[in-house]
Every structure is written in C-alpha cells, then in structure tokens.
Chain A
C-alpha cells in the first residue's frame, strides 16, 4: 500500500520552473532516499510532500485520502479540516532543526502532544522520555536547544516529530547543517527507524547512507526524476546524469 502518492508535480518559483512533472510514491514501511545536486528541486519536492509548499500542478494522495487534485487545469487542495487530518499523519525533520528555543528538550517533545494530540501531561511526558531515551538524550531532557550540539538538536527534532505518531516521516537534508563528526549519530537514528519499519522519505547528500539504508533511490536533476530504482542503481547507474553525479561525489 502506498502511504503517499504524488503525480506529475509541477512547481515554479517566480516564474522559474523548479519541478517539471515529478511523480513520487512511498510504500508503507519503505525508506526512499531522494538524491540530486543542489538546486535540483529535491527540497521543494519534500516540502510539497510535507504540505509546506503548494504544488502549482499535480495530484497527491496520502493514505487513501485525496490531498490535492487537478480541476480545470488548476491544482486544488482539500479543505483545512482534511489537510489538518492529513498533516497529523506526517512528520517533518528540517535541515536547521527548527526546535523551539524557549522550550527545554523535554518540552519540545511534550508540548505538541499536549496541545495538539490532547494527551495528558503525564502521558506526554512518558512518551517523551521514552523517545529521548531512544535518541540517547535522556541526560539532556532539561537542557535548552542552544545548549545541545547540532547532532543532539537534530535527534531531539526527530523525537519531537515521532512523538506525534506520524505514519510517514520526511527528512529535508537532516545532516547538511552538521559537521561530519556529528552526522553519524543522526544517520544511525534514521537507520534504526528504517529497520523498525518506519515509512520515510529522506532528501540527502550522504550517498553511502542512502546505499545502505534506502529501499529505493530517486535521483532528481533539473526538476525531473532522472533515474529511480533500488539502492543498487548507485553502483550501476544507467543514466549518464546519475553516473556523472556519483563520479563527481566520489572524486
């Protein structure tokens, strides 16, 4: 079953085409890695999937619910209530973490549970502490985001997203703001989630990580999907574009 299906997505920014008809499907339990050079449109794709950007054209279905569709040549989105429902199935992890600086680590994970999911403070805290433990952040529960390292901040933001029990988790370059020493712990967390069967789409520059964790690779260049397939396409790319991209990275 597909958790998310996007068809023929087109998106312009100030008249400049960023995505020129991209389709993306994510099956339940699958980890999809979205690769591509800077400016290829991969971040825009994941932001459209996570409902942070609106598509100019295209259709989108999330867990059998129609999110957006074409009507008389126009892309129409579902109403606010339906979108709220769809959004509650999605989690999003940003490149720059976007933690709430005025909340402690613990409160970053409990607050939305209490105010959005309407859990009791006790339930929320139990869930949060379990997630902090899983992210190896138990000892940092009372720290504020500025007191955490980049890797800790990103793991905290993953805990914050997981606390809302999303059916699909989107990552927009989760390690690009981290120095190489700190990326490991974040990638390890994503790897563990993949092993547990979490449905995920990850925009990343980490080729080795994509190769070892992703069930499927989507390679985007200049707003179109140039090549798509199992992780093995990274070892045997068939398109010249992916070949060139990979050789540029390994050099």
Chain B
C-alpha cells in the first residue's frame, strides 16, 4: 500500500479525531469559566469543591477517566447505553480539559492588577461590566500562550480514545500497521499530528499578533 492509499484509509479516523478535538474545545472552554470562578469564590464550600474537582482531574490519568465515564453507567448504575462510545470520550475530554483550562483562567484573572478593579469601581461600572468589559479582554491576551500549550496537548491526547475502541485516526493507523507490517501508517499519523499542531500554533500566533495592539 502506498502512502497515499494509507492516508486515504486513515481519513475517516482523522475526521473523528478532529471532531473530538473541536467538541472538547467547544465544551471545555466555556465550562472552565464557572469552574475558575468557583475556585476563586469566597464561599468556602464552593471553592473547596472546585479545587477538589480540579485536583482529581489533574491528578489521575485521562485514560482512566475515559474508562470510568464509559463503563460507569453500566457497571455502577446498570443503565445499558448503546452507541455511547464517542459521547463518553467527548464527556471525559471536556471534564478533564475544563480542569486544566480553569487553572489557566484563574491564574490569568488573578494576574490583572487590583487597580484595574478600583479604576472600574470609581467610574461606577457594575461587577459584570467590570469583568466582561475590563478584566476578561485583558485576561484573554495573557492566557493565550498557556492555552495554546494545552490545546496542542489535546491534539495528541485524542489518540487516547483508542482505550475504549473509538476508531480515531491513531487506532486505525495501528491496525493498518499491524496488518501490513509497515511503518508507513505511523509516519502518516505523525505527519497528521504535526501538521494539525502546526496549524494550531500558527492560529495562536495570529491571535497573539491581533492582540498586540496594546500592552
């Protein structure tokens, strides 16, 4: 099999990987915001709950979380779910990545000087206006580099979906490699990840440039 043939065979898997990537970002980026707020909450039970959640999500392997999310409905609650594989992967990824993103948000929000809040306060801005108009835009600029790091990791983490048998790209590459006794599928997989991340890094650089109009 030629490189092109292999690549076309992998195509369906690539689509699955990219879909998982997009859905994870779509879920985790907004979900991390209330989580970050919860962590910074002055109401102790809420902040402890969020800190505990983040600690567990960061402290255990994503693959293990994947298995828990996939098997728990049947093993623990005896709810039979069919066609649940891909949904389970997305849920586990969103829950895991939201924890990492929340930490980045928190650090970003806390890095904005208190004096910005004071300036907004004396001008009479409400708390909501202060956060969404003054603090958040400045936070976005600051968290762009660490977020890019996490997003690049996410591209590579999509390969973990194989743990519960989702036919994402790397699962297919391994199968073809085994059948053909060839290294070419691995090379195609490497190229896929590399180009994907090149695009992610490029987009991030563009966004950074767009936000460089102020300091």
Contacts from A to B (Cβ < 8 Å): 50-52, 84, 87-88, 90-92, 94, 96, 98-102, 111-112, 115-117, 144-146, 160-161, 164
Contacts and interface: CB of A to CB of B under 8 A. Distances in A.
A156 B118 CA distance: 17
A146 B119 contact: no
19 contacts: A51-B122, A52-B122, A87-B121, A87-B122, A87-B124, A88-B124, A90-B122, A92-B122, A94-B115, A94-B118, A94-B119, A98-B118, A116-B123, A144-B213, A144-B214, A144-B215, A145-B214, A146-B215, A161-B123
B124 A112 contact: yes
A130 to B, nearest CB: 18
Given A115-B129, A115-B133, A144-B213, A99 B124 contact: no
B124 to A, nearest CB: 4
A143 B148 CA distance: 29
Interface residues of B, number: 19
B133 A111 contact: yes
B16 interface: no
A249 to B, nearest CB: 28
Given A115-B133, A160-B123, A102 B118 contact: no
A105 to B, nearest CB: 11
B125 interface: yes
Interface in B100-126: 113, 115-116, 118-119, 121-125
B138 interface: yes
A102 B122 contact: no
Interface of B: 113, 115-116, 118-119, 121-125, 129, 133-134, 137-138, 141, 213-215
A101 B138 contact: yes
Contact of B122 (A91, A111, A144, A146): A91
Contacts of A161: 122-123
B214 A52 contact: no
Nearest to B116: A98
B215 A164 contact: no
Contacts of A111: 133
Given A111-B133, A115-B129, A115-B133, A101 B215 contact: yes
A101 B214 contact: yes
A46 B31 CA distance: 41
B128 to A, nearest CB: 10
A116 B124 CA distance: 6
Contacts of A99: 119
Contacts of B213: 144
A186 B125 CA distance: 26
A146 to B, nearest CB: 4
Nearest to B117: A98
Given A115-B133, A146-B214, A146-B215, A98 B123 contact: no
B124 A98 contact: no
Interface centre among A51, A96, A115 (most CB of B within 10 A): A115
A96 B115 contact: yes
Contacts of A115: 125, 129, 133
Contacts of A144: 213-215
A52 B124 contact: no
A145 B113 CA distance: 16
Nearest to B115: A98
Contacts of B124: 84, 87-88, 112, 116-117, 164
A200 B214 CA distance: 32
Nearest to A166: B122
A184 B113 CA distance: 28
Given A87-B124, A94-B119, A99-B119, 6 more contacts: A87-B122, A100-B116, A112-B123, A144-B214, A160-B123, A161-B122
B115 A102 contact: no
Contacts of B133: 111, 115
Nearest to B124: A116
A146 B141 CA distance: 15
A164 B121 contact: no
A144 B113 CA distance: 18
A161 B122 CA distance: 9
